[in-house]
Amino acid sequence: QVHLIQSGAEVKKVGASVKVSCKVSGYKVSEISMHWVRQTSGEGLEWMGGIDPVDGETVYAEKFQGRVTMTEDTSTDRAYMELSNLISDDTAVYYCTTKELDYWGQGTLVTVSS
């Protein structure tokens, strides 16, 4: 059984960066191909990127290319998603999830204000 516990809500200014963490228990983070999905009120569920289990490479959605970085810390079994140059439309709940999307974190609300 995989459990994913995310960091708490964040409030950021336009132009800033945010880094959301996802603690894995039950498995090692290196055993999970972690993906990130966000949910905005206007766009529903939106895939941001994740690890391709075939080659271990991280793949990002074109929309977020250049602004998002997904990393892992195997010493703490944590995955991270950092989004830079925030705009107000980045206000959303961000979820970590497994590649098969069968396990999800509880979500992290990121609010971007001017």
Please give the residue ranges that form the binding site for other proteins (CB under 8 A): 35, 37, 44-47, 49, 59-62, 95, 100-102, 104-107
Output the smallest distance, CB 74 to other proteins, in A: 24
Residue 51: which of 31, 78, 75 has the closest Cα? 31
Output the smallest distance, CB 75 to other proteins, in A: 26
Q: Which is closer to other proteins, CB of 16 or CB of 39?
A: 39
Output the smallest distance, CB 38 to other proteins, in A: 11
- Give strand ranges (E) for 52-89: 58-60, 68-73, 78-83
Kindly give, in sequence order, each residue whose CB lies less than 8 Å from that of residue 93, ignoring residues fewer than 6 positions away.
38, 39, 107, 108, 109, 110
